[in-house]
Amino acid sequence: MTATGLRRATGAPRSCGTRRRPGPAVAGPGALGVADLEAAAARIAPHVVRTPLLRGPVPAAHGSGLLLKAEHLQLGGSFKTRGAANAVLALGADRVVTGSSGNHGIALARLARSLGIRLTVVLAAGAAPAKAAAVRALGADIVRVAGGVAERDERARALADETGALLVPSSDHPLVVAGQGTVGTELLTDAPGTETVYVPTGGGGLLAGVCLAATGLPVRVVGVEPALTPRYARSLAVGHPVRLPPSTTVADGLRGQRPGHVPYPIIRDRVDDMIAVGEAEILAAAALLDRHGVHAEPSGAVALAGALRAGRRERAVAIVSGGNTPARLHTPTPHHSGTHTGPTVKEYTS
């Protein structure tokens, strides 16, 4: 699968305030910007760690400039903890409902248990059994629905309406996007010479957040989607959000069927390229990471797969978005709090 036709051949990255192409108005984030990311970082600090950058396992043809933002080491095993914490802490609630492919549910369940919140997580039919078990073990109620992500999210909205609970989507909410954007703020602070950031893309919250973090900076932002579910690439190509059928991609955390109303306009106005990667490329990237001591789930390896497909000799960062493999979920991990205090860039040990 080749990259989509969105790439700009030359020139500095587009600023967040410049539209890429005309399109219909989409309900969006309002004045969401860098200040919201700063507020999110302060709000969630006690509930997350500042994850390190790792030097990536890169073939010689790709140069030596690739780093990995290690969100698989985040509390809860993925970047989802950032957005979940920002929304829950900012809004306050004693009952929360969400739809999740697994990692967002795990992140919310950890928070709910520590804050005394009742949580219901709606899972689609294809949710990974190990992730569902982890959500249940953390004390959340689980509701299963037939169909895909769209049906899951529709059921979550209905449950929130029926019960009066706070709905915290996995990506389509300004506070969630702002929380996810702290990933971008950290990596661009720790690696200020970065030329390109490769971002795994499902619902789009992380990609939108990184776009916000890159406001005014000379850095390319590239979203990477599984070729089986290129919902953002297709939407950007036609100029409005489109809905795709349910996907069976091995990257189970990236099975979103439609761009979110909040992330879409941010991504439309700032993203520099979208790359699609095949199933074999995703699994190969995950295997490469594993051989170098980075135990990422397939969704967490998608950005690296995109960087390898791009093949550019550049100073780049690929976000390893999650590490909730079945093996990890069956192995209890100690609780940590506060910020990461180790070196900003770590070396691999193979």
Among 69, 78, 100, 101, the one annotated catalytic? 101
Catalytic site residue 346? no
3-state helix vs strand vs coil in the chain, percent to 5: 40, 15, 45
What is the C-alpha end-to-end distance of the chain, expressed in Å?
30
Closest CA to 140 of 111, 164, 168: 111
Q: Give every strand in the sheet of 53-55, ordered side by side.
A: 273-277, 220-226, 196-200, 316-320, 66-70, 53-55, 345-346
Among 69, 78, 80, 299, the one annotated catalytic? 80
Cα separation of 90 and 118, whole Å? 17
Tokens of 145: 């629905």
Q: Could you tell me the CA-to-CA distances from 11 to 220, 271, 272 in Å, in that order?
A: 10, 14, 11
Element (H, E) at 135: helix 129-137
Q: What count of other Cβ atoms lies within 10 Å of the Cβ of residue 8? A: 12
Cα Rg, the chain, nearest whole Å: 18
Cα separation of 241 and 261, whole Å? 8
Catalytic site residue 80? yes
Residue numbers annotated as active site: 80, 101
